[in-house]
Amino acid sequence: MAQHHIIIGGGPVATNAIETIREFEANGSQITLICDEPAHSRMALPYWLADQIPREHTYTADDDFYQRLNVETRIPERVQSIDPGASTVQLAGGDALQFDNLLIATGSSPLSPPIPGLDLPGVQSLWSLADTESLLNEANSLKKPRVLMVGAGFIGFIMLNAMYKRGWQLTVVEREAHVLPRMLNASAAGLVKSWLAAKGVGLHSGTTVSSISQGDGSSKVVELESGEKIEADVVIVATGILPNVGLLDGSGITTDEGIVVNDLMQTNFPNIYAGGDVAQGPVLHSDQTAMHPIQPTAVDHGRIAGANMAGHEVHYPGSLLMNVLDVCGLQCASFGEWSDSSAEAITISNAGGYVYRDMLWRDDEMIGAIFIGRAGDLGMLTDVGMVKGILQTGTRFGEWKAHVKENPFDIRRPYTALKVAQQLAGTTLLGRAAKPRQYRFGGHEATVPPNPSHKVYVSTK
């Protein structure tokens, strides 16, 4: 009898799991996808917000995709509870569905801090399709919207960059001492602060919002703990996220910060899997588990879970903590154990040129790094990608560490000499070559051929 796989959620975990199940299964199975939103990429929302793509280009699946892969969709619907003993999920609408395997990919939701005035019109989060549409509708009637963002973390700054491209007037309030506290150290964040000032973005760090009140017309008045008041047309609340684990109440599925999973992406129930923002899973080169709510980890989780649900045993080596961000034209990246204060650091800082790199070491192994630079400086170099590959492979530098100390801008030579590229080329997540995603908007294939410089990297030979 064909197995029934149920997947809760419509993000990258879900779509990659679906394709992987269909790639690996020996016999045809039934797949049911349950989600309260259309399948889409949250990381594409800033491009819609910046007016670089239409809303539809954020979607990652459509009816044709589901039909081709024989997926039954329950959209928009929501799972209310899970009963692992009976292997059933209870939908909010009343239906109960039985499963052989279940994948929980419910993602996360924005935090709502206890600030008076959060319920006012024009005060919102910026997390979902509906949130993005609401902001765009609010801004349509304004020539140059004044937007105040509460929170200066990674997710907030992705959206801040999109609004900067629109030419909106921007102000940021961050309770921590510096911006991007879970991505950059204080020195690196100092460069970001001065860059924002030069770009006309207001920044108030080390302070909190006491209240939000209605101002004249549709404007809002944001009062800081210092008593300072700032007027804004729209207030965006971006103070963090929490995993969506409410449907697990009473289920017996083990949670810590998120749903605890092993290297098969299994929970404490072997036929129930979890992945993405909701999952606390293996960490690369570590015996610890952690939550890494980023797109690359979600994709990996979905592929690993999908392969195992299809009966093809695959073990996940673990995720690498990484964040890459454009802050109004200033490129920022951090990888691995970038905040380890006990590690040996090789640091270069040129505040006037907005150049910063901090490489952290344990003996002759690089364990983390931070990079800051203008788009033309950092984006045109391959150092960031090379360092990522070095961390992924856990390559030890040996005598090449002394070279990096003397030449901190030369990662290319040790990367080449230590054959990091060969190590990366010889590894696969699922034991076979990766395949491109099957979904294409409107069924269109890419029409732009690779130029000669890039052809070697995308050749199928």
Domains of the chain, earliest start first: 4-109+242-309 (3.50.50.60), 123-239 (3.50.50.60), 329-425 (3.30.390.30)
Q: State the average pLDDT over residues 427-447.
A: 84
Residue 82's nearest CA partner among 97, 65, 62, 64 is 97
Q: What pTM, to 2 d.p., does this model score?
A: 0.93
The pair of three-digit structure tokens given for residue 153, joined into one six-digit string: 């973390």
Predicted confidence (pLDDT) per residue in 61-112, tens digit: 999 999 999 999 999 999 999 999 999 999 999 999 999 999 999 999 999 9
CA-to-CA distance for 413 and 419, rounded, in angstroms? Answer: 10
According to the model, what pLDDT value does residue 438 have?
Answer: 87
Residue count (the chain) = 461
Is the CB of residue 370 less than 8 Å from the CB of residue 188?
Answer: yes
Lowest mean pLDDT among 6-20, 336-350, 418-432, 445-459: 445-459
Q: Residue 211 corresponds to which tokens in the numbers above?
A: 């209240």
User: Does the structure show a pLDDT above 80 at 445?
Assistant: no
pLDDT tens for 16-66 read: 999 999 999 877 899 999 999 999 999 999 999 999 999 999 999 999 999
For the stretch 108-127, pLDDT in tens is: 999 999 999 999 999 999 99
Contact (Cβ atoms closer than 8 angstroms) between residue 261 and residue 308: no
Average pLDDT value for the chain: 94
The confidence score (pLDDT) of residue 379 equals: 61
pLDDT for residue 292: 96
Give the pLDDT confidence of 207-236 residue by residue, as tens digits.
999 999 999 988 999 999 999 999 999 999
161 Cα distance to chain centroid:
15
Confidence band of 455 (pLDDT split at 50, 70, 90): low
Identify whether the C-beta of residue 192 lies closer than 8 Å to the C-beta of residue 179: yes
Q: What is the pLDDT of residue 263?
A: 98
Cis peptide bond N-terminal to 110, omega within 30:
no
pLDDT, average across residues 249-277: 98
Is the per-residue pLDDT at 459 higher than 70? Answer: no
Give 72's strand partners: 32
Alpha-helical regions (H) of 185-285:
186-198
Per-residue confidence (pLDDT) for residue 456, from 0 to 100: 59
Residue with tokens 């994709």: 299
What tokens were used for 71? Answer: 């997926």
**Model confidence pLDDT, tens digit, residues 328-353:** 999 999 999 999 999 999 999 999 99
Tell me the per-residue pLDDT of 378-426, one tens digit each, with 9 for 90 and over: 766 678 999 999 999 999 999 999 999 999 999 999 999 999 999 999 8
Query: What is the reported pLDDT for 452?
Result: 73
